[in-house]
């Protein structure tokens, strides 16, 4: 396809749904739904979105239409916490966090010193994300710069918007996974120079967690954060009780775990903190003041036995929340499965996660958590056309259950409770179909044919 063809408008038609705010807070006006909707896409961006009839009538008759009716078309899912080198750690038996890291994760991540291994697994990783309808992720790579190069090269090839970084780790890990404060700093600088804002790629400074960095390295991470204010910071906080006890021993001067990151200047509105399960009210209030984001990773929290994330207390403290998979502690790449497990974690605490709230969370909500709502997460004009097409009747059990569904809300709740990769009929990146039937869907209808 020539550049000129790419700029010509085309239309995606289907049941369009997107959010512009959290429906729990903003009510009806947060949700935009068109039973027969059309997305007008130009140069990969949404130009207009709304009722198909008038939109189609306003376009030239030869405008191609990719017709997905009766499926739902939503903004592509966003996963704000995932580990690229853990695709073969997922489903490792019988350990909680610290043992799980030593026994499985740190063994596996050493394989990422090999660029060929990185490249092969990057291809798998992106195939798998897109198969699940996830078009943006915030990823930890391994300590090796090669893993970051392979990750971003694959993302650039696919034109996906990704946020990622090399983990900084210089203690409490095998030698093959340790850098030094100086080397970690220097390698991160080179990677930022090479990848940050190259096309759609964004860099995240990534001190793995307090236990695996010396004070000198956390200081270097703080310097990187000061020198690159437009980079995200990704790390882990307060996931597991044994972890918190070790942090207390390693940083005896700190008031608590959060205080360690605060001390080194690592907390701000671009900071994404995986887990945040066992926080005190003091910590929540510090994090709320900093504008940092707690990323709730339910399948991981259940699988590694870390604990139950308290959504209500986190929100009431004024903190921002993201919802992520945490592969390979997490057990599914699917943001639908992730939403299902989030619902169950909240049920155990007599809290709720309504379907609209969950779909907001995995699209617009996570875009806001990344501060990228101007680029992705909705179909407002000017956003990238990263989209997922969902079929709520993709399995016999779902088709059977859907026979009794009467409302969009019921359909969404069935999708999140029973759904998985099987419900993803197609995925679009910048207006191009990257997943679904091999052929880009032949125009089934032509405007005003
Ligand atoms: N804490 C530090 N590293 C990790 C990791 O790889 N996974 C999880 N779940 N927690 C961590
Ligand atoms: Zn993690």
Residue 36 is predicted with a pLDDT of 98
Tell me the pLDDT band of 436, cut-offs 50, 70 and 90. Answer: confident
Distance (Å) from CA 393 to ligand 1 centroid: 35
Residue with tokens 């998979």: 325
Terminal-residue alpha carbon distance, the chain: 24
Look at the alpha carbons of 140, 152, 370, 215 in this order and tell me if their dihedral is positive or negative. positive
CATH 2.30.40.10 positions along the chain are: 3-75+378-436
CATH of region 77-333: 3.20.20.140
CB 363 within 8 A of CB 77: yes
Average pLDDT, rounded, for the chain: 96
For a mutational test of ligand 1's pocket, the pick from 171, 274, 299, i.e. the residue with the most ligand atoms closer than 8 A to its C-beta, is: 274
Q: What is the C-alpha separation between 284 and 256, in angstroms, rounded?
A: 11
Q: What residue spans of 198-250 are helical by DSSP H? A: 215-227, 241-250
CB 298 within 8 A of CB 309: yes
For a mutational test of ligand 1's pocket, the pick from 97, 142, 172, 295, i.e. the residue with the most ligand atoms closer than 8 A to its C-beta, is: 97
CB 274 within 8 A of CB 309: no
Residue 435 is predicted with a pLDDT of 85
Q: What is the C-alpha separation between 139 and 327, in angstroms, rounded?
A: 10
Query: What is the rounded average pLDDT of the residues 419-423?
Result: 98
User: Which residues have CB less than 5 Å away from ligand 2 (the ion)?
Assistant: 274, 326
* Secondary structure (3-state) at 375: coil
* Ligand nearest to C-alpha 240: 1
* Ligand nearest to C-alpha 324: 2
Q: What is the C-alpha separation between 55 and 45, in angstroms, rounded?
A: 16
Distance (Å) from CA 101 to ligand 2 centroid: 10
Residue with tokens 């990677």: 191
Q: How far is CA 360 from CA 18, 30, 32, 41, 233, in A?
A: 8, 9, 11, 22, 23
Residue 445 is predicted with a pLDDT of 43
The H or E element that residue 418 is part of is helix 408-418
The pLDDT tens digits of the residues spanning 104-153 come to 999 999 999 999 999 999 999 999 999 999 999 999 999 999 999 999 99
Q: What lines the ligand 1 site, CB under 6 Å?
A: 83, 97, 101, 105, 208-209, 236, 239, 300, 326, 329
Tell me the pLDDT band of 440, cut-offs 50, 70 and 90. Answer: very low
CATH 3.20.20.140 positions along the chain are: 77-333
Residue bearing the bigger pLDDT, 64 or 28: 64
Query: What is the rounded average pLDDT of the residues 48-75?
Result: 98
Distance (Å) from CA 98 to ligand 2 centroid: 12
Tell me the DSSP string of 160-210. -EEEEEPEE--SSS-GGG---HHHHHHHHHHHHHHHTTSTTEEEEEEE--G
Ligand 1 atom nearest residue 212's Cα: 2
Nearest CA to ligand 1 atom 9: 329
Q: How far is CA 368 from CA 139, 196, 316, in A?
A: 17, 19, 18
* Ligand nearest to C-alpha 301: 1
Query: What is the rounded average pLDDT of the residues 296-321?
Result: 98
- Residue 438 pLDDT exceeds 60: no
Tell me the pLDDT band of 28, cut-offs 50, 70 and 90. Answer: confident
Distance (Å) from CA 382 to ligand 2 centroid: 32
Rounded percentage of the chain residues whose pLDDT exceeds 90: 94
Nearest CA to ligand 1 atom 7: 329
Tell me the pLDDT band of 11, cut-offs 50, 70 and 90. Answer: very high
Nearest CA to ligand 1 atom 11: 236
Distance (Å) from CA 231 to ligand 2 centroid: 18
Distance (Å) from CA 430 to ligand 1 centroid: 31
* Secondary structure (3-state) at 13: strand
Ligand 1 atom nearest residue 105's Cα: 6
Query: What is the rounded average pLDDT of the residues 232-238?
Result: 99
Residue 6 is predicted with a pLDDT of 62
Ligand 1 atom nearest residue 306's Cα: 9
CB 124 within 8 A of CB 132: no
Distance (Å) from CA 5 to ligand 1 centroid: 44
Q: What does the DSSP 8-state code read for residue 364?
A: I
Look at the alpha carbons of 366, 371, 376, 377 in this order and tell me if their dihedral is positive or negative. positive
Tell me the pLDDT band of 156, cut-offs 50, 70 and 90. Answer: very high
Q: What is the C-alpha separation between 167 and 183, in angstroms, rounded?
A: 12
Query: What is the rounded average pLDDT of the residues 193-206?
Result: 98
The pLDDT tens digits of the residues spanning 268-294 come to 999 999 999 999 999 999 999 999 999
* Ligand nearest to C-alpha 211: 1
Residue 163 is predicted with a pLDDT of 99
Assigned CATH topology for domain 3-75+378-436: Urease, subunit C; domain 1 (2.30.40)
Residue 352 is predicted with a pLDDT of 96
Distance (Å) from CA 201 to ligand 1 centroid: 23
- Residue 447 pLDDT exceeds 90: no
Nearest CA to ligand 1 atom 3: 208
The pLDDT tens digits of the residues spanning 362-413 come to 999 999 999 999 999 999 999 999 999 999 999 999 999 999 999 999 999 9
Distance (Å) from CA 80 to ligand 2 centroid: 10
Query: What is the rounded average pLDDT of the residues 343-357?
Result: 98
């Amino acid at each position: 396809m020539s550049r000129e063809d790419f700029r010509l408008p085309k239309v995606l038609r289907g049941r369009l749904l997107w959010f512009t705010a959290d429906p729990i807070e903003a009510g009806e006006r947060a949700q935009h739904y068109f039973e027969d909707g059309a997305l007008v896409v130009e140069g990969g961006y949404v130009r207009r979105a709304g009722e198909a009839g008038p939109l189609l009538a306003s376009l030239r008759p030869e405008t191609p239409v990719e017709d997905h009716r009766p499926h739902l078309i939503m903004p592509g899912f966003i996963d704000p916490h995932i580990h690229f080198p853990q695709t073969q750690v997922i489903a490792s038996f019988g350990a909680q966090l610290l043992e799980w890291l030593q026994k499985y994760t740190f063994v596996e991540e050493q394989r990422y010193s090999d660029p060929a291994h990185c490249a092969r697994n990057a291809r798998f990783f992106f195939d798998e994300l897109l198969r699940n309808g996830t078009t943006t992720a915030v990823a930890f790579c391994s300590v090796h710069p090669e893993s970051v190069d392979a990750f971003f090269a694959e993302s650039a090839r696919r034109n996906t918007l990704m946020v990622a970084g090399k983990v900084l780790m210089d203690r409490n890990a095998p030698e093959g996974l340790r850098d030094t404060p100086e080397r970690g700093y220097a390698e991160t600088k080179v990677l930022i120079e090479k990848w940050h804002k190259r096309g759609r790629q964004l860099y995240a400074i990534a001190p793995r967690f307090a236990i695996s960095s010396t004070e000198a390295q956390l200081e270097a991470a703080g310097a990187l954060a000061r020198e690159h204010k437009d980079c995200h910071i990704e790390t882990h906080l307060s996931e597991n009780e044994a972890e918190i006890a070790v942090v207390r021993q390693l940083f005896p001067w700190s008031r608590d775990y959060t205080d360690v990151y605060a001390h080194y200047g690592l907390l701000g509105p671009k900071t994404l903190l995986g887990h945040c399960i066992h926080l005190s009210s003091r910590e929540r209030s510090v994090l709320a003041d900093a504008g940092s984001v707690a990323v709730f990773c339910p399948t991981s929290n259940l699988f590694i036995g870390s604990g139950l994330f308290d959504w209500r207390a986190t929100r009431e403290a004024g903190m921002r929340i993201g919802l992520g998979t945490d592969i390979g502690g997490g057990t599914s790449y699917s943001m639908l499965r992730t939403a299902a497990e989030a619902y169950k974690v909240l049920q155990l605490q007599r809290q709720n996660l309504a379907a609209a709230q969950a779909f907001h969370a995995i699209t617009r909500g996570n875009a806001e958590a990344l501060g990228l709502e101007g680029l992705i997460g909705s179909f407002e004009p000017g956003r990238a056309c990263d989209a997922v097409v969902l079929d709520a009747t993709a399995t016999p059990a779902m088709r059977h259950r859907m026979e009794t569904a009467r409302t969009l809300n019921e359909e969404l709740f069935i999708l999140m409770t029973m759904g998985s990769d099987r419900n993803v009929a197609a995925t679009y990146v910048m207006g191009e179909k990257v997943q679904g039937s091999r052929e880009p869907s032949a125009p089934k209808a032509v405007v005003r044919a």
